[in-house]
Amino acid sequence: MQLARHTDEYVESTFRNNFEEEFDFCSLNRRLVDTYGSGHYILAFDPSYISKSGRHTPGTGKWWSGCAGRAEWGMELGALCAVDIDQHTAYHLDGVISPGKEERVLKGISLTDHYAQVIEWNWEKIEGLSAYLVADAYFAKSEFIGRMSGLGLNVVSLLRSDANLSYLYHGPRREGKGAPKKYDGKVDTKAMDLSKCKVSYEDEFVVIYDSIVYCRFLKQKIRLAYTIWKNKEGKENIQLYFSTDLSLPAFMIVKYYTARFQQEFVFRDAKQFTGLNQCQSRSEHKIDFHWNMALSAVNFAKVQHIQSLKKGERKPFSMASIKTRLANELILKRFIAILPPESEFTINHPSIRELLHWGCIAA
């Protein structure tokens, strides 16, 4: 309805009908990433809570809301994105509605199975972007990691503070019968034996220790980045980042994991500026189209920001400023279109260009 109000070319029913059609947003966004990205990416997957009233929309139910800190009624969007490490930003690739509990029971799948399927469905379109998939601690599960390994993806994630880990034994082999000794005791995750690690990175705020250990519940070796974060008061916070790629240095594991939070800014911008939360349809296809269009619009705003920069120039991206400028342009074009033909104003007039940026934040 909002789109129809801002154009003379299409009526509301045209938008409604086209929202029901299938569109390959993932391929479109992949082309944007290939054209305007730096080339250094990681893949990131993260579910996001979407508010939705009513009980007749497919996928509605109790879903975890990070903002509320509890499960609330609504829907869940499982979003896959490419995080550009060098540009310090994220580009949306594809988003899928998470099925409700009843639908999962009928299909005989778990929620973890569905998340893995989202990546598998898009694999042909995203293959080659990155060898790493970054996800939060929920995804540190053998069934999920096993399916990602089948695609050739290494997983970077976070372990719980009570994770069951064992040191690898590197001492002399004993003589005689029996299997050689593999492990050298359990890892105390609250006070790790630092003699069995090496420092990968250190500054006044963080110390990252590097070690290859065996993870009991994943049933495989992992590279552990035992990280001690320090705040200004001197308090320490220990985090257990890991990668299934044993050759990835610990400091890169931490860098990749912390970079995944760029995806949260995509969700924020889409919810605040492109109407991610504002779809009132009950059609699964229309909701899917709306969500992906709202998230892809953030991509196009970033591309427009990149195109506005001069070579070597760096300015912070502001979705608020982009939307303000585009809204100004829309209404000014409307004014110019209805003014008398003899009017001297054109869109390139200096006064018009000044008005286009009215309300934008000066970078």
Are the beta carbons of 287 and 279 closer than 8 angstroms? yes
- Distance (Å) of CA 64 to CA 42, 78, 150: 25, 12, 29
Contact criterion met (CB below 8 Å) for 33 and 86: no
Q: Are 307 and 324 in contact (CB under 8 A)?
A: no
Cα torsion angle, 148, 152, 153, 159, sign: positive
233-291 residue pLDDT tens: 878 999 999 999 999 999 999 999 999 999 999 999 999 999 999 988 999 999 999 99
325-334 long-range contacts, Cβ below 8 Å, gap at least 24?
325/356, 325/357, 325/360, 328/355, 328/356, 328/357, 328/358, 328/359, 329/356, 330/6, 332/356
- What pLDDT was estimated at residue 336? 73
Identify the band that residue 158 occupies on the pLDDT scale cut at 50, 70 and 90.
Answer: very high
Sign, CA torsion 244/249/253/256: negative
95 touches 295 (CB < 8 A)? yes
Whole-number pLDDT of residue 177: 76
Q: What pLDDT does 262 receive?
A: 96
Between 127 and 329, where is the model more confident?
Answer: 127
Neighbours of 275 (CB within 10 A): 16
Mean pLDDT of the chain: 90
pLDDT in tens, 15-72: 989 999 999 999 999 999 999 999 999 999 999 999 998 888 989 999 999 888 999 9
pLDDT at 144: 96
Q: What is the pTM of this model?
A: 0.88
Beta strand pairing status for 132-134 and 41-51?
parallel
pLDDT at 362: 55
